[in-house]
Structure 1
């Protein structure tokens, strides 16, 4: 079985070394062993976990959600319903974020309409509105 140094994992996963260390501190991955030189070596399982974490983070899943999913993987007897519920909860959070972003977009568009391009910054209506 192949073992990886942290920089090799970073290259394989396109994650930073700092991110990998962070995930290790959060107990999402762990080195398979430390060599005599005190270097940490990671196995194929750590590589798979990092790919899993990266895909979850790309879906804006929190570390808590990822941790829950990984726990479910370790204890598969709970069934897929639990995973489905977790994903459903995440979808609700994503929908809320979409609503918030749409609100921000609307507010920014309203601010943009205040702009009178021919004024100086001292007279900028956007700046004045944001400052009030």
Structure 2
């Protein structure tokens, strides 16, 4: 397990807050964790920390800005087909959180037909305007 030098986590967090001022703390934490995972993968086996790590962080943050879906909660809710889970759903697993549906939970369905926990797919769509399974565009912004 790679240990990030003291201060880099805070540096990443501050950088993200300045670039995404309207993002919730939960969304920022997801982005921080994602960037830390990518840094760990890129730097695996290396204890040599220098200016290049800051360059890597900037590239990863910039990539998040490009990948961000720009979907608002209002747009997501207008386009997400919601229903309550039923008995036949109870053995089905949400591929985002890897948990089985519980009776009468809200399930969100995308245009491609794939379904997820409503809260899971809403969080996903804030970051990615695509289906987690088939990668087709989730919501058209025309």
TM-score, length-normalised on structure 1?
Answer: 0.29
- Structure of greater relative contact order (alpha carbons < 8 Å, 6+ residues apart): 2
TM-score, length-normalised on structure 2?
Answer: 0.28
Structure label with greater radius of gyration: 1
Specify which structure has the higher proportion of strand: 2
